[in-house]
């Protein structure tokens, strides 16, 4: 892991971990997050990321509504 998979910037910082305990990073340039799997063959599954991100946001929205 040396550059952001989204914008190729090397200016990123650690950003907690994923649910699976993998290191997560946040790019300071595009402000998107990615995990240490990026750049590996598994990153080819990236096409699923948008759907994954969408469902995660939906889940968060639902949770916030429940709290409020």
- The footprint of Zn ion (CB under 5 A) covers 4, 6-7, 9, 27, 29-30
CB of 7 to Zn ion, least distance (A): 3
33-35 β-sheet, strand order: 12-17, 23-27, 33-35
Of 15 and 61, CB closest to Zn ion: 15
DSSP state of 64: H
The token pair at 29 is: 């340039």
Residue 42, token pair as written in the block = 């598994």
Q: Provide the minimum distance between the beta carbon of 63 and Zn ion in the complex, in angstroms, as a whole number.
A: 27
Q: What's the closest the beta carbon of residue 12 comes to Zn ion, in angstroms?
A: 7
């Amino acid at each position: 892991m040396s550059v952001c998979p989204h914008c190729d910037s090397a200016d990123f910082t650690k950003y907690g971990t994923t649910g699976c305990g993998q290191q997560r990073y946040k790019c300071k340039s595009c402000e998107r997050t990615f995990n240490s799997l990026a750049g590996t063959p598994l990153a080819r599954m990236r096409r699923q990321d948008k759907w994954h991100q969408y469902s995660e946001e939906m889940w968060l929205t639902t949770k916030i509504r429940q709290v409020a």
